[in-house]
Amino acid sequence: MAYRDLREFIGRLEKEGQLKRIPAEVDPVLEITEITDRVTRADGPALLFERPKGSRVPLLINMLGSERRINLALEVERLEEVAGRVRSFLDFQSPQGLLDKLKMLPKLAELGSFFPKTVKSGACKEVISKHEFSLLEFPILKCWPKDGGRYITWPLVITKNPETGKRNVGVYRMQVFDERTTAMHWQTQKHGAEHFRRARAHDAREKIEVAVAIGADPATCLAGILPIPPDLDEMMFAGFLRREPVEMVACETCRLEVPANAEIVLEGYVDASELRTEGPFGDHTGFYSLEGEYPVFHVTCVTHRRDPIYLTTIVGPPPQEDFFMGHAIERIFLPVMKMQYPEIMDIAMPAEGIFHNLMIVSIRKSYPGHARKIMNAIWSLGQAMFTKVLVVVDHDVNVQNPREVVWKALCAIDPERDVQLVLGPVDTLDHAARLQDFGSHMGIDATRKWPSEGFQRPWPDEIVMDAETKARVDALWGSLGLPRAG
């Protein structure tokens, strides 16, 4: 059974010793960040601040800030189980005979059961405020000293494509300007920004309906950051992850739907012609992202539970909670990458590479120039397009071991020959790029070079002791008076 909502997951975390309640009064301005940062670094628990200063609403943070809690959230022992489920859907062949077709039915039924379901009401409607409300009632963090203000950091921002009517859910931070307005920091390549552009192109006076859900069952919360193609509903993927449909309920003041189990919902609109300065914000690069011009979200209605819990997270010098979320997504989507590019053996994005700065890919190299082909593939694959430095290694390099990668990749390159530089879109948060959103990428072909690639020298073998000698020494070891070393 999927978690019904955030509080059921909190209960589970508590039972597993993965949650610490903090009854002391703590300030959402900076203090909660400092505490959370220390706890995440020490591989500590999720934190439920019961008395955030200045608010009656408790605050949950670090909910998914460890591998164990990610597994609990997805109700698996290992992420590989989720990847396996993804693979079993991708393995689907087109049916050959009647028997094949019959065999497909349960899978199809399972697939159908992931679609979001519309319900009449839900807990997020226990309190509905269309007139008297203020965002300042919630314990919204000011995360870092030079932040431009308080930020809602884990909002599920829901919009519809004005042309296709398809829903999108993305997590885009929202800087609070006052009681009823925030910024809407959807970066230019993200789906919310595309909806905004299309609506504006249609009519610059347009008011784009936006709903924001804060706090829900963990799979639904995680779904907001999934890098899936445009016009695919993240709520369908949430249904896949939780193995039960997400129940959606209609908003009060706009034509959108929100997860019925949400803790807090903000309804409102973004004016197509209005931009306002947003930032700076202590970001997941470990640096402040600079001020920029972003749309403004006007809240027209707030609905919430009688006793809402405010879910948030912080980003900052890596690793933070977002590393664990991003890593989970990397593992879950690896089978999808492999389906499209079967030569990919494994990928790794070390925490310090903050996702878009460094990706290491191992491939089974089959033809000259294969590593370059994979570079091009990755630079055109969804949000992997942002990858600043891409290192391609042979299949026998364990990309999960950074030491092995540094050793073998650097041994395998002649830099002038093996580095590929290309121009393209870069992550908005890349402060070193020549322009915001536009810059260069570097691919390093660290595979063995082949004669067919113009490499005429012999390639040496890697040093490995032979098995017989190892076995003889194993047998001898006890008599040598040496410690049992690995």
Ligand X SMILES: Cc1cc2nc3c(=O)[nH]c(=O)nc-3n(C[C@H](O)[C@H](O)[C@H](O)COP(=O)(O)O)c2cc1C
Catalytically active residues are: 283
- Between 154 and 333, CB nearer to ligand X: 154
- Between 327 and 365, CB nearer to ligand X: 327
Cα end-to-end span (Å), the chain: 43
User: 253-274: buried (b, 16+ CB within 10 Å) or exposed (e) per residue?
Assistant: bbebbbbbbbbbbbbbbbbbee
- Between 173 and 370, CB nearer to ligand X: 173
- Between 25 and 291, CB nearer to ligand X: 291
Cis preceding linkage at 280, omega within 30: yes
Residue 332 in contact with ligand X, rule: CB under 6 A: no
Residue by residue, DSSP assigns 62-87 as -TT-SHHHHHHHHT-SSHHHHHHHHH
Burial class of 341 by CB neighbour count within 10 A (0 to 12, 13 to 18, 19+): middle
Question: Residue 129 touches which of ligand X, Mn ion, none (CB < 5 to 8 A by kind)?
Answer: none
Residue 220 in contact with ligand X, rule: CB under 6 A: no
DSSP run (H or E) holding 89: helix 79-90
Binding ligand X (rule: CB under 6 A), the pick from 192, 215, 279, 316 is 192
User: 100-121: buried (b, 16+ CB within 10 Å) or exposed (e) per residue?
Assistant: eeeeeeeeeeeeeebebeeeee
Q: CB of residue 354 vs Mn ion: minimum separation in angstroms?
A: 20
What CA–CA distance (Å, rounded) separates 31 from 327? 27
What CA–CA distance (Å, rounded) separates 293 from 437? 14
Binding ligand X (rule: CB under 6 A), the pick from 139, 148, 218, 227 is 227
Per-residue binder mask for Mn ion (CB under 5 A), 156-195, x = binder? ------------x----------------------x----
Question: Residue 390 touches which of Mn ion, ligand X, none (CB < 5 to 8 A by kind)?
Answer: none
Residue 65 in contact with ligand X, rule: CB under 6 A: no
Which amino acid is it at 389? V
> Site size for ligand X, by CB under 6 A?
22
Residue 185 in contact with ligand X, rule: CB under 6 A: yes
- Between 141 and 399, CB nearer to ligand X: 141
Task: Match 């082949």 to its residue by tokens.
Answer: 450
Helical residues (DSSP H) of 184-308, grouped into ranges: 191-202, 218-223, 234-242
Positions in 137-176 near ligand X (CB under 6 A):
153-154, 168, 170-173
User: What single-letter DSSP state applies at residue 254?
Assistant: S
SS3 388: coil
Q: Candidates 108-116, 121-129, 222-230, 241-249 — which segment interacts with ligand X by CB under 6 A?
A: 222-230
Q: CB of residue 227 vs ligand X: minimum separation in angstroms?
A: 4
Q: What angle do CA 264, 270, 271 make, to 5 degrees?
A: 155
Residue 289 in contact with Mn ion, rule: CB under 5 A: no
What CA–CA distance (Å, rounded) separates 49 from 313? 12
Question: Residue 362 touches which of ligand X, Mn ion, none (CB < 5 to 8 A by kind)?
Answer: none
Q: CB of residue 168 vs ligand X: minimum separation in angstroms?
A: 5
Question: Residue 245 touches which of Mn ion, ligand X, none (CB < 5 to 8 A by kind)?
Answer: none
What CA–CA distance (Å, rounded) separates 305 from 258? 14
Residue 325 in contact with ligand X, rule: CB under 6 A: yes
Q: CB of residue 237 vs Mn ion: minimum separation in angstroms?
A: 9
Binding ligand X (rule: CB under 6 A), the pick from 187, 285, 357, 387 is 187
**Residue ranges in contact with Mn ion by CB under 5 A:** 168, 191
**Residue ranges in contact with ligand X by CB under 6 A:** 153-154, 168, 170-173, 185-187, 190-192, 224-227, 313, 315, 322, 325, 383
